Amino acid sequence: MDGRVEAIFVTSEHGELPARVERVQARAGCGLEGNRYYWTDGDAPPGRAVTLVAAEAMDAVASEGDVSIEPPATRRNVLTRGIDINELVGKRFRIGDVECEGVELCEPCSHLESLTQAGVIKALVHRAGLNADILSDGEINVGDGVTLA
């Protein structure tokens, strides 16, 4: 069950579409440097340090044709391919050299739908991503592996 990082997205402003970056510094207990959810005191709430979404889920939504949403619009940080991120809930995994732990599925909400389009909630139920904790410092790069720890 090995995957890879296909893209990384961060934004410093609430409501702003996240920008694609090639790499980002991950800090244990803090989050991703430069992202709006970053706790400098190291006290990130459970599951708020990093979010993942599967490219396969985005492909499935696009093929269904009811909703069109690009990966940055999901407001998730790391776009993966080749790993079932739903299976990572409660498990330790690595994004490159950064150890993480899956906390819960990141289900779509009315706020996400208000930022995108009607139908996003229904289209993304159980495939909108994963909320995770960062357990070790390091750099996450596009192309890094995503593997069970």
Residue 121 is predicted with a pLDDT of 83
pTM of the model: 0.93
Structural domain containing residue 27: 3-148
Residue 99 is predicted with a pLDDT of 98
Residue 141 is predicted with a pLDDT of 98
Residue 14 is predicted with a pLDDT of 84
Alpha-helical segments (H) within the chain: 55-64, 110-115, 120-124
Q: What is the mean pLDDT of residues 91-108?
A: 96
CATH number at residue 121: 2.40.33.20
With b meaning 16 or more CB within 10 Å and e meaning fewer, what string describes 112-124? Answer: bbeebeeebbebb
Residue range 39-83, pLDDT digits in tens:
999 999 999 999 999 999 999 988 988 888 889 888 899 999 999
Q: How many domains does the chain have?
A: 1
Residue 1 is predicted with a pLDDT of 64
- Concatenating the DSSP letter of every residue in 48-78 gives -SEEEEEHHHHHHHHHH-S----GGGGT-SE
Residue range 104-135, pLDDT digits in tens:
999 888 888 787 777 788 888 899 899 999 99
CA distances from 91 to 11, 24, 45, 81, 137 (A): 27, 22, 17, 18, 18
**Candidate from 21-30, 35-44, 120-129, 139-148 with smallest mean pLDDT:** 120-129
